[in-house]
Structure 1
Amino acid sequence: LPDLATPQGLKFKTITETTAEVQWEPFSFPFDGWEISFIPKNNEGGVIAQLPSTVTTFNQTGLKPGEEYTVTVVALKEQARSPPTSNSVSTLIDGPTQILVRDVSDTVAFVEWSPPRAKVDAILLKYGLADGEGGRTTFRLQPPLSQYSLQALRPGARYHLTVSALRGASESRPAFAQFTTEIDAPKNLRVGLRTPASLELAWDNSEAEAHSYRVVYSTLAGEHYHEVLVPRDTGPTTRATLADLVPGTEYGIGISAVMDSQQSVPATMNARTELDSPRDLLVTASTETSISLAWTKATGPIDHYRITFTPASGMASEVTVSQDESQLTLSELEPGTEYTISIVAERGRQQSLEATVDAFTGVRPISQLHFSQLTSSSVNVTWSDPSPPADHLILTYSPRDEEQAQQVTLDGTCRHTSLTGLQPSTEYLVSLVAVHGTISSEPVVGSITTGIDAPKDLRVGNVTQESMMVYWSAPIAAFDHYRISYRAAEGRTDSMAIPRDDTQYTLQDLQPATKYEIGVKSVRGREESELASITAYTAMDVPLGVTATNITPTEALLQWNPPLLEVESYVLILTCRAVAGETILVDGDNQEYQLTNLLPSTTYTVSMYATSGPLTSQTISTNLYTLLDPPTNLTASEVTRRSALLSWVPPMGEIENYVMTYRSTDGSRKELIVDAEDTWIRLEGLSETTEYTVHLQAAQNAMRSGLISTTFTTGGRVFANPQDCTQHLMNGDTLSGVYTISINGDLGQRVPVYCDMTTDGGGWIVFQRRQNGLTDFFRKWADYRVGFGNLEDEFWLGLDNIHKITSQGRYELRIDMRDGQEAAYAYYDKFSIGDSRSLYKLRIGDYNGTSGDSLTYHQGRPFSTKDRDNDVAVTNCAMSYKGAWWYKNCHRTNLNGKYGESRHSQGINWYHWKGHEFSIPFVEMKMRPYNHRNISGRKRRSLQL
């Protein structure tokens, strides 16, 4: 037909592995529809679809990946077909799928995948560390390969892996996988020092960054394993010592690396502890031909003891003794001979360390006393061993001319002692006796003469840069004169004789700030006492010109000129309010120091001296006064249309007051003086939708701190004439209190109400409150119609007002009740009362809350007072129960009852919370629009946007 032209503009919008989206131009004349076909290049199969005439795009699914298709579009009208328009398209090749990583070890991982459906030239496998370190490794694999083993991986590392297909220049979308290699075990386990009770282990650290190693060990026959966690050492090697082991025992040891929740397979080894040695080898007796021995047995398992005894002639002999023995007598020995005796424990080829003792056959008396290290007040005395060993020794000493001697009892094994507290320049007689049982040996006697004593209490004073005075106390022994010597650390030694009656001497012509070694000794003829010595330094010069600059409330910069001598360090001492505070060390190369963390508006005294080694200079001082610090964190909050709360953190220093100024964008400016104790102020009477800039500074006398500032913008009204507390809240009035509402927005129906802006999101109109009994609620119908009481205290809003308010829309009701710290509430999702013609009939919805539902009993009831009985009871409920309510027969709740009355049903009752015999001390009844949560939520979201 002539009106069926060839479709035009055939093109492809999106192409995937299995889909192709086609688009063509529409016809401007009526026809029946389109026929579109997708025929593969090999003419095997194909897809044909017929489409409405209004469709000019089509997305064909279910195609084969990597296949070339001829796409033809034909227009249809009745039995006629337009000339076709065709184009070719190839779907994308698909990639491998279902990638799986398995059999992961510390250095190897095996990868599997499902091959692509399309014919591809190659499979690209890429992997590398997940953090990107070291780059990525790529393998080009030949189809139909669908698995590969990754080698030489890093232990304990996370890897990122992709597998994709490649045909020509086209690459498929990759399949992804991640895996973590296991951590490797430590290597080269070895044993260092062995003892009978411990093994020192060492190993090469794992390549993985293990944070610790778990060491498990047990005897080879043991059923119980011991475990210790050892932190990884820095460097290539970690060491650990296993203690409290059994001597001479072989242990099996396994060491695993631990990293987070991973643990490597263990590296294992066996190691044996050393045999325990016998201890305390003693000679208990000796004769001309025998020596008796005793020892403490080894603690571990052994086969026997081996005892070796060698005489001075050098021919050693051995004997073995059962492991159960702890003593032995060696017989048939050479008389009068010294023997060296040793004992070891043996187990198989293993041998312990030896214990050794020297012994002598026959009797060997102490032959001579030896004296050494003789001073004016002490001497060391030594002697040879007696044989057999003595039970104890008695040493006696006294000056030669004195009959009374001092006596010391010593252990029989003792071979030396020191005598102290001797008199100087005195001859002493010393004797030693060995005691065997009840027999004492002949005394061995010696004599010594103590030397003259040295001067005492050597000290220096009056130290200047060029001189110092040396003082001392005279010695006890007679002497001829003193000799004093002194030398600088690297100078010559000067000395001179001092008369014996002098006990002080002034050293002069010294070098400043120099260390001197000073000695004084007593001299008698050719005999000299020990040297009394002391080290002292001449004085060093003082730093100059210390000043404080760049002073702020908490910091100041100290600067000074250094002394001539090289300084090791400066010592600064801060004194505040007569109390010495922090001491600061400053490197000697510096000539300034930044003081920090000072107290604002405070006077400090800074004392300073220089040191060089043990030297200290004189102290110099300066005073500084820190500035007044400003308040901080000035913040504007609770910003409404006409007010804002400004708060701040006070300064640390003492102040008299604050000076606050605030300026609006119209140029008006006000200044306020705020008490020092205050940390907040509410600015009232502000202009709506106006930006204000507030500055605050502290003041003390004539001093003022730096300024801090903040900016805020007051809000505007959302509702010009709010008709309930919810609209007041959305206007930005967030404080609970008395507000005026306009019924239905009519300024002619303005009603003052109390708004609760905090309870459960706020926006509540409180229409009744009981809290102290100061207001009489046993009133007539007329009072309850118009309302009574004080909105700030106890009140009833009035039935007419409640009816008008609840007629504005759907309202919800909440009743809050409290008894001390105990509280409960009742919530009803609908609330209204009728007009005066319906006697203000009550309508409420479903209950929720914590008090129990006591109000549903009154559903649909008219209001009753003592002069208008509208209940269904025989009696007048309002008159009987001293209240006014929506009574039925008569009540489950009586919230307008008599305050504090506990008689049955007479007080303020809520049956399901406190029953009929308890008058609730606090009650508030309140209402708000039912959709308040949704409205306030949208309002908050819009403010956030």
Structure 2
Amino acid sequence: IYRIGGVIAHLLMLGAKKEKEKNKAFSVVFKTLPPSCCLFSPCPRQNNEGGVIAQLPSTVTTFNQTGLKPGEEYTVTVVALKDQARSPPASDSISTLIDGPTQILVRDISDTVAFVEWTPPRARVDAILLKYGLADGEGGRTTFRLQPPLSQYSLQALRPGARYHLAVSALRGANESQPALTQFTTEIDAPKNLRVGSRTPASLELTWDNSEAEANSYRVVYSTLAGEHYHEVLVPRDTGPTTRATLADLVPGTEYGIGISAVMDSQQSVPATMNARTELDSPRDLMVTASTETSISLSWTKAMGPIDHYRVTFTPASGMASEVTVSRDESQLTLSELEPGTEYTISIIAERGRQQSLEATVDAFTGVRPITQLHFSQLTSSSVNITWSDPSPPADRLVLTYGPRDEEAAQQLALDGTRRHASLTGLRPSTEYLVSLVAVHGAVSSEPVTGSITTGMDAPKDLRVGNITQDSMVIYWSPPVAPFDHYRISYRRTDSTAIGSDATEYTIRLLQPATKYEIGVKSVRGREESEVASITTYTAMDAPLGVTATNITPTEVLLQWNPPLMDVESYVLVLTRHTVVAGETILVDGINQEYQLTNLQPSTTYTVAMYATNGPLTSQTISTNFTTLLDPPTNLTASEVTRRSALLSWVPPVGDIENYVLTYRSTDGSRKELIVDAEDTWIRLEGLSETTEYTVRLQAAQNAVRSGFISTTFTTGGRVFANPQDCAQHLMNGDTLSGVYTISINGDLSQRVQVFCDMSTDGGGWIVFQRRQNGLTDFFRKWADYRVGFGNLEDEFWLGLDNIHKITSQGRYELRIDMRDGQEAAYAYYDKFSIGDSRSLYKLRIGDYNGTSGDSLTYHQGRPFSTKDRDNDVAVTNCAMSYKGAWWYKNCHRTNLNGKYGESRHSQGINWYHWKGHEFSIPFVEMKMRPYNHRNISGRKRRSLQL
């Protein structure tokens, strides 16, 4: 909107000079000058000076011009016409805004590149600004300054799978056009560096580097190169830089084409591709089907994958290997012209080109070689291991028989023909056993191969240790089964002790504390000894001495002790509160002799139990008890300090208390002590002396115990104004609470007036001289009542015309009117306010308006006051009588805040026309005044008081 300020315009003429901005229209606003008006503009017809001209009637107050060029400067001239006379012209200049680029388009988007196009602006510009950045704001915005007439740009090095905000605007000088805006999302990038980690005939393990975009998963597509066996699998993205997947159930020895795409929500990247081949599978179940003196017959199961042939290698014990190639269709082979009575190692692999499978092997013999001997090893009192050589030809199964020599009963084990060893367990101690082995070939059994063994003596059983002290321990055991003469116990390398055969325990004495002992017990019969039953144990450590609690505070205690004689790896402290079953375990380094306990509960009894450890060893436990002190309150703070009062607040202690003891002392030596309830965390001190420093001490109390104290100091304020003449001076004296105060007109104590001070609205310091809020006070009163005032200062009231006149005569005052309707509020502000004396009938004088309610009071400017018994308005009727309230009426009113409460009939209630009209009675109104320069003066006063 273009405004010609202070000019009464009838004619507007517009001529053009070049410059650029954005809009294509402007408006001219002017006040009417009767009787006619002529307005010149770029529309609708041209004049001889290259401009355009329009003539408008005098009733028109606005004019909008469209069709302008962007970024152009226009000159506007307004003249008034009356008859043949023309006023001097009023001229001004205005520029339209420059236009910006339009029709922005982003195309050819990849994972890191996007191409931007736009339509250039029509205005002449200095530069094109291209700004882009991530939609979430990360990394800020990147700006490119481009030279016109450039209308496209390629964005590089973008983040894959990210959403970007893009703005393109024009710039001329310091002026920037409105930007053209758009958004786009880059494609997600494909995984990189595909590779095969390991492969088998039926599987491929793939690994790749993750996409830079935050892909949720990867789509893996694979098939043979012939297009068969097509499969697709979705693989979740692994944490870390790479993702791994295994492709299973593949065809052996086959090359696969593999494509891997990143997937994020509905987006999918282009695939990264590679080829990989599975391993050849080996022939299986290789076995010897027959053998002669010079030949061995073989069979196997064919490989599943495509192969060229099999390669069979056979090597005799002499080490000279031979090879033979077998067709891929064969699964049997007979090796001939072999050495008689010789063991061969035979292997077979599948081959395809240069690719080879893993080999399958088998050992075989030419001719017949029976089992000739049993070999016994690892003989104990209850077990023995037996081994034997390979029979030739191989046995179908083996039968192993064993039992005590002097008993007919025997046990048999059926073994697989490939077994070459067996373990016999559960044998009786000191017993001779007969063992035989028979090889079975089909229906033919070989002659048995036999041998005998005698089991050893059994050792004592269930060896255990108990009653361990620093210098002794007791050994317990159960006796062996086999007969014996006595026991022999050893616990040092050089010492052993013989014990009678009827004993089952023994006490070892004179040991060293915290020492490792390996104890062995064996049974003896003649020169024969059983195996040793052994156990390793330690003697007990000696305990630390004299643990004590010192330096006790509400939350900390220092524990001290004397160390034991032996080395200590660590001490274990168990801290338990008496009201808590579970304790806290603390590990302390073994070199320490004290430990500081912290974070304890105040006024609480604790038990500390401790013992020393060294590896698996622990000492006996010692303990002590202590009680923490009562903790004091914290953060004692003085606030809201006035001339005669201060608010003290604090944070309560952690421990339970009965009350607080608060002491405050002034600099003149007076002292007071207060007992404060334990639930309180603040107290307001009243009746203090002005401009006096106070020291406050606070401590907690429980029974007869008091905590340490905390303290703070504060100084009460003094009066800036000894006899305040208005609420603003009361506020600067430190009276910050709204309420009833006494003021002295011009500081004269003989002219004291009680007023209600609003100390919170818009900086405070307001004298409220009228309030309507509930209709309990009658405002339809006579002249005498309105002169002296009426009502309750804390409810509805009128302060009185004489008082209002005296107060506003003290200097320049400002006026504020607050109005509310439920949650809706408005206000009117006038920067000057006064009323005359009784001789002028209390004429109203106000200044310029500001606010949110609209200006309804200026209509009453300069009007005397009217009541139902003093009609001073200019209307035909008595406005005060007609509208049931006294006011500064003119031809009645635009506002009447003293009307009848709650009356919604036209103009009968409490009205403010420009906010709620004449048919709504406002439920709440306050009229208030304060010195015009209160904000500046109060700011300086507060700063000077802080100094």
Sort the TM-score into its range (normalised by shorter chain): 0.5 to 0.7
TM-superposed CA distance for 1:217, in Å, is: 2.5
Partner of 2:923: 921
Report Cα offsets for 1:862-913 as digits up to 9, x if no partner: 9999999999999999999999999999999999999999999999999999
TM-superposed CA distance for 1:776, in Å, is: 52
**Cα 1:937/1:127, change in 2 over 3 Å:** closer
Q: Alignment partner for residue 158 of structure 1, among 136, 143, 163?
A: 163
Give yes or no for the alignment of 1:17 onto 2:35.
Answer: yes
Aligned to 1:775, what secondary structure does the other structure show? Answer: coil
Matched-pair contact (CA < 8 Å) for 2:28–2:63: no
**Cα 1:388/1:87, change in 2 over 3 Å:** same
Aligned to 1:707, what secondary structure does the other structure show? Answer: strand
Cα-Cα RMSD: 15.2
TM-superposed CA distance for 1:416, in Å, is: 0.6
Matched-pair contact (CA < 8 Å) for 2:35–2:82: no
Matched-pair contact (CA < 8 Å) for 1:18–1:92: no
**Cα 1:77/1:825, change in 2 over 3 Å:** closer
Q: Alignment partner for residue 844 of structure 2, among 827, 834, 842?
A: 842
**Cα 1:825/1:190, change in 2 over 3 Å:** same
TM-superposed CA distance for 1:121, in Å, is: 1.8
Aligned to 1:13, what secondary structure does the other structure show? Answer: coil
TM-superposed CA distance for 1:312, in Å, is: 3.1
Matched-pair contact (CA < 8 Å) for 1:373–1:379: yes
Bigger CA drift: 327-336 or 605-614? 605-614
Bigger CA drift: 506-515 or 797-806? 797-806
TM-superposed CA distance for 1:532, in Å, is: 1.8
**Cα 1:154/1:898, change in 2 over 3 Å:** closer
Matched-pair contact (CA < 8 Å) for 2:901–2:909: yes
Report Cα offsets for 1:814-857 as digits up to 9, x if no partner: 99999999999999999999999999999999999999999999
**Cα 1:718/1:167, change in 2 over 3 Å:** closer
TM-superposed CA distance for 1:123, in Å, is: 1.1
TM-superposed CA distance for 1:528, in Å, is: 4.9
CA distance in 2, matches of 1:299, 1:720: 112
TM-superposed CA distance for 1:14, in Å, is: 22
TM-superposed CA distance for 1:322, in Å, is: 5.0
Partner of 1:4: none
CA distance in 2, matches of 1:640, 1:281: 106
Bigger CA drift: 706-715 or 195-204? 706-715
**Cα 1:19/1:425, change in 2 over 3 Å:** farther
Q: Alignment partner for residue 586 of structure 1, among 574, 585, 588?
A: 588
- Aligned pairs for 1:362-511 within 5 A: 362-400=367-405, 402=407, 404-477=409-482, 482-486=487-491, 502-511=503-512
CA distance in 1, matches of 2:125, 2:841: 89
Give yes or no for the alignment of 1:105 onto 2:110.
Answer: yes
Aligned to 2:831, what secondary structure does the other structure show? Answer: strand
Matched-pair contact (CA < 8 Å) for 1:723–1:744: yes
Matched-pair contact (CA < 8 Å) for 1:740–1:750: yes
TM-superposed CA distance for 1:130, in Å, is: 3.6
TM-superposed CA distance for 1:410, in Å, is: 1.6
Report Cα offsets for 1:99-130 as digits up to 9, x if no partner: 22222111101111221111112212222334
**Cα 1:931/1:449, change in 2 over 3 Å:** farther
TM-superposed CA distance for 1:277, in Å, is: 1.6
Bigger CA drift: 745-754 or 522-531? 745-754
**Cα 1:854/1:13, change in 2 over 3 Å:** closer
Matched-pair contact (CA < 8 Å) for 1:39–1:71: no
TM-superposed CA distance for 1:623, in Å, is: 11
Q: Alignment partner for residue 188 of structure 2, among 183, 208, 217?
A: 183
**Cα 1:553/1:760, change in 2 over 3 Å:** same
Aligned to 2:802, what secondary structure does the other structure show? Answer: helix
CA distance in 1, matches of 2:900, 2:623: 79
**Cα 1:15/1:294, change in 2 over 3 Å:** farther
Bigger CA drift: 392-401 or 823-832? 823-832
TM-superposed CA distance for 1:417, in Å, is: 0.7
Matched-pair contact (CA < 8 Å) for 1:863–1:885: yes
Report Cα offsets for 1:788-813 as digits up to 9, x if no partner: 99999999999999999999999999
Report Cα offsets for 1:347-397 as digits up to 9, x if no partner: 454322111001011101123322222223222111111010112222233
**Cα 1:876/1:174, change in 2 over 3 Å:** closer
TM-superposed CA distance for 1:300, in Å, is: 3.8
CA distance in 1, matches of 2:268, 2:152: 28
TM-superposed CA distance for 1:414, in Å, is: 0.7
TM-superposed CA distance for 1:287, in Å, is: 1.6
CA distance in 2, matches of 1:163, 1:207: 28
**Cα 1:525/1:59, change in 2 over 3 Å:** farther
Bigger CA drift: 331-340 or 598-607? 598-607
Matched-pair contact (CA < 8 Å) for 2:44–2:54: no
Bigger CA drift: 827-836 or 206-215? 827-836
Report Cα offsets for 1:558-594 as digits up to 9, x if no partner: 999998888889999999xx99999999999999999
Bigger CA drift: 622-631 or 911-920? 911-920
Partner of 1:349: 354
Matched-pair contact (CA < 8 Å) for 1:767–1:925: yes
Report Cα offsets for 1:169-189 as digits up to 9, x if no partner: 433233333322222111111
CA distance in 2, matches of 1:880, 1:608: 97
**Cα 1:759/1:352, change in 2 over 3 Å:** farther
TM-superposed CA distance for 1:630, in Å, is: 21
CA distance in 1, matches of 2:857, 2:365: 114
**Cα 1:909/1:435, change in 2 over 3 Å:** farther
TM-superposed CA distance for 1:194, in Å, is: 0.7
Aligned to 2:495, what secondary structure does the other structure show? Answer: strand
TM-superposed CA distance for 1:200, in Å, is: 0.9
- State the TM-score, normalizing by the size of structure 1: 0.56
Matched-pair contact (CA < 8 Å) for 1:826–1:848: yes
Bigger CA drift: 247-256 or 46-55? 46-55
Give yes or no for the alignment of 1:240 onto 2:245.
Answer: yes
Matched-pair contact (CA < 8 Å) for 1:15–1:92: no
TM-superposed CA distance for 1:272, in Å, is: 1.9
Bigger CA drift: 755-764 or 105-114? 755-764
Matched-pair contact (CA < 8 Å) for 1:17–1:94: no
Any stretches of 5+ residues in structure 1 without a counterpart? 1-8, 21-35
Bigger CA drift: 518-527 or 553-562? 553-562
Report Cα offsets for 1:414-473 as digits up to 9, x if no partner: 111112223334444433222223333233333444333333211101111232112223
Matched-pair contact (CA < 8 Å) for 1:39–1:70: no
Aligned length: 916
CA distance in 2, matches of 1:11, 1:847: 20
Partner of 2:641: 639
**Cα 1:80/1:653, change in 2 over 3 Å:** closer
**Cα 1:917/1:47, change in 2 over 3 Å:** closer
**Cα 1:645/1:154, change in 2 over 3 Å:** closer
Report Cα offsets for 1:218-252 as digits up to 9, x if no partner: 33445664333333334332222222323223322
Report Cα offsets for 1:189-212 as digits up to 9, x if no partner: 111211122111111122223343
Matched-pair contact (CA < 8 Å) for 1:75–1:81: yes
Aligned to 2:491, what secondary structure does the other structure show? Answer: strand
CA distance in 2, matches of 1:851, 1:56: 24
**Cα 1:441/1:793, change in 2 over 3 Å:** farther
**Cα 1:864/1:69, change in 2 over 3 Å:** closer
**Cα 1:665/1:472, change in 2 over 3 Å:** same
**Cα 1:678/1:59, change in 2 over 3 Å:** closer
CA distance in 2, matches of 1:93, 1:905: 51
**Cα 1:931/1:616, change in 2 over 3 Å:** same
CA distance in 1, matches of 2:302, 2:618: 62
Aligned to 1:110, what secondary structure does the other structure show? Answer: strand
Matched-pair contact (CA < 8 Å) for 1:125–1:164: yes
**Cα 1:637/1:299, change in 2 over 3 Å:** farther
Matched-pair contact (CA < 8 Å) for 1:39–1:69: no
Aligned to 2:816, what secondary structure does the other structure show? Answer: strand
Matched-pair contact (CA < 8 Å) for 1:284–1:389: no
Aligned to 1:10, what secondary structure does the other structure show? Answer: strand
Identity %: 90
Aligned to 2:306, what secondary structure does the other structure show? Answer: coil
**Cα 1:191/1:737, change in 2 over 3 Å:** same
Matched-pair contact (CA < 8 Å) for 1:521–1:528: yes
